[in-house]
């Protein structure tokens, strides 16, 4: 009964913000309905021969990512509380069972949502393999989320690590590329994917694909249990306060403090460098050798141009990495500073100065991500107009960094991460992708990434700049999101003057 009570309380705590529960259902549904067909098309470009089966695996990918992030925040947020429960006399085994059971219930929820969307989108066949495989995806990523939650105290670090593992697992796994590559056999859902779509690997040995898939799943539950036990012994570190001054002094001190905090976070800077490097380099390495047609404006006329896909793939994948990381940076820089900002207000800091400080720190992170991404891209892609191409990527990153600020203020930490994962992927990775369709659909032109994407494509693939209208659209999005971020920042709960 005690374990059941704790499971109920853990779930109640997680769903205290009703948006969390709503997002856990809506994001898998939207992702499967919208992205599964495009991912199947992308798999053909990468050389995969399984075709429509990619749509089936999309349910597992979505359930896995959602379960992993949900477990990460549950593990990370529960460190101090779990430690106090153990010190108060709760047997560790009961705590472990309750936490793992809560994670499994969340995994069941996201798996059910993804499968429902798959049933509507493409049907579930064979039902047994698809249902079981999707749940295996979720359980394996539960362990990944718990492990990252125990090791990464910073939410940006943890979320980027999970996203990085997920990207490797999805885009370089057997469904999107080839099941015969030796290097991809260590990916967490390699065997689960092959068994789920009934594609024998012929390298599963005596255990077979199902045996290895079950081994990964059972091992994931064991790891998650061990990690929850470990997390209950970790306590938080204290935070510091600063003094007040003039606006200029406050801004200088705030910038120095913000950059110092993120400079000390070496893992974050490593992730901001490693993720785009791996994503861009491997994107070119796995691209199928063929020509592709893209619709661009050249010489003030819209024309269909033919390109050798391996040469341009990296250049078109760079903005996806920049937009995704910029969104997470914008979301977490502001959210992580909320408690500190309230104390700084009590010390005399002005709200406008604090907003400027946070935006400057976000700009520093964006500058690092963009610089690294463009440096790597330059080694594998030759842009026709480097200044225009680089400026378009910076503009796109700035738009999504501000979008991340707004998402964090509106939806909070957990729901904000789920939506921050969904929007740039569907917008920049699917709707604006020149590899999946010659030009964006009419509805895609209303998305934040449209203007900046057309600018950077024009700079990367044509010799003359012809996207003035798209540039104005991007600048309008940048201005609108800046205003929205400022309004949401000022409307956040302020610190009371009587609190010391």
- Top pLDDT among 17 and 155 is at 155
- Pull the structure tokens for residue 14: 């997680």
**Domains in the chain: boundaries:** 1-237, 238-500
Q: What is the mean pLDDT of residues 315-327?
A: 87
**Tens-digit pLDDT profile for residues 412-460:** 877 888 888 888 888 988 888 887 777 888 888 999 999 999 999 888 8
Which regions of 206-272 does DSSP assign to beta strands (E)? none
Q: What is the mean pLDDT of residues 119-143?
A: 88
Q: What is the mean pLDDT of residues 293-312?
A: 76
pLDDT for the residue numbered 240: 44
324 near 425, Cβ under 8 Å? yes
DSSP state of 128: H
**Tens-digit pLDDT profile for residues 262-300:** 555 566 666 667 777 777 777 777 677 777 777 777 777
Q: What is the mean pLDDT of residues 190-211?
A: 82
Q: What is the mean pLDDT of residues 353-359?
A: 76
* DSSP assignments along 40-66, one per residue: HHHHHHTT---TTHHHHHHHHHHHHHH
Dihedrals φ, ψ of 20, to 5°? -60, -50
Distance (Å, whole) CA 292 – CA 189? 30
- Selection from 64, 259, 76, 221 nearest residue 152 by Cα: 76
In the block, tokens 């390298």 appear at 203
In sequence order, which residues have a C-beta less than 8 Å from that of residue 313 and are 6 or more positions away? 45, 283, 284, 287, 435
Is residue 293 helix, strand or coil? strand
pTM for the full predicted model: 0.77
Q: What is the mean pLDDT of residues 18-40?
A: 81
Q: What is the mean pLDDT of residues 122-138?
A: 88
pLDDT band at 254 (very low <50, low <70, confident <90, very high): low
């Amino acid at each position: 009964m005690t374990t059941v009570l704790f499971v109920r309380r853990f779930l109640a705590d997680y769903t205290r913000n009703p948006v969390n529960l709503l997002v856990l259902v809506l994001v898998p549904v939207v992702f499967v309905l919208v992205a599964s067909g495009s991912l199947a098309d992308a798999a053909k470009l990468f050389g995969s021969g399984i075709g429509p089966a990619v749509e089936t695996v999309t349910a597992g990918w979505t359930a896995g990512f959602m379960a992993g992030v949900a477990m990460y925040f549950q593990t990370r947020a529960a460190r101090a509380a779990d430690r106090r429960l153990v010190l108060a006399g709760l047997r560790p085994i009961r705590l472990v069972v309750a936490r793992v059971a809560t994670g499994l219930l969340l995994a069941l929820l996201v798996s059910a949502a993804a499968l429902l969307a798959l049933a509507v989108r493409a049907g579930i066949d064979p039902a047994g393999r698809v249902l079981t495989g999707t749940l295996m995806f979720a359980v394996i990523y539960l362990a990944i989320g718990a492990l990252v939650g125990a090791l990464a105290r910073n939410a940006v670090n943890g979320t980027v690590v999970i996203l990085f593992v997920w990207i490797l697992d999805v885009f370089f796994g057997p469904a999107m590329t080839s099941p015969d590559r030796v290097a991809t056999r260590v990916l967490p859902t390699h065997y689960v994917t092959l068994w789920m779509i009934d594609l024998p690997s012929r390298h599963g040995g005596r255990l077979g694909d199902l045996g290895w898939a079950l081994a990964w799943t059972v091992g994931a539950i064991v790891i998650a249990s061990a990690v929850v036990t470990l997390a209950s012994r970790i306590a938080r570190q204290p935070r510091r306060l600063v003094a007040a001054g003039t606006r200029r002094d406050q801004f200088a001190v705030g910038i120095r403090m913000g950059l110092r905090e993120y400079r000390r976070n070496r893992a974050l800077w490593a992730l901001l460098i490693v993720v785009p490097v791996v994503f861009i380099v491997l994107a070119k390495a796995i691209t199928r050798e063929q020509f592709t047609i893209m619709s661009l404006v050249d010489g003030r006329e819209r024309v269909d141009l033919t390109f050798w896909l391996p040469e341009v793939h990296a250049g078109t994948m760079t903005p996806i990495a920049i937009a995704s990381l910029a969104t997470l940076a914008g979301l977490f820089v502001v959210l992580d500073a909320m408690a500190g900002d309230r104390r700084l207000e009590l010390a005399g800091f002005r709200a406008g100065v604090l907003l400027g400080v946070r935006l400057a720190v976000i700009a520093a992170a964006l500058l690092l991500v963009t610089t690294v991404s463009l440096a790597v891209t330059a080694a594998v892609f030759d842009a026709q107009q480097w200044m225009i191409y680089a400026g378009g990527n910076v503009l796109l990153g700035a738009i999504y960094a501000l979008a991340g600020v707004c998402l964090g203020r509106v939806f909070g930490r957990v729901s904000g991460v789920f939506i921050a994962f969904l929007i740039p992927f569907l917008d920049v990775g699917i709707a604006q992708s020149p590899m999946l369709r010659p030009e964006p659909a009419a509805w895609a032109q209303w998305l934040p990434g449209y203007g900046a994407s057309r600018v950077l494509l024009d700079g990367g693939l044509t010799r003359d700049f012809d996207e003035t209208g798209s540039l104005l659209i991007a600048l309008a999005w940048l201005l609108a999101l800046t205003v929205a971020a400022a309004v949401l920042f000022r409307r956040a709960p302020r610190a009371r003057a009587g609190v010391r």
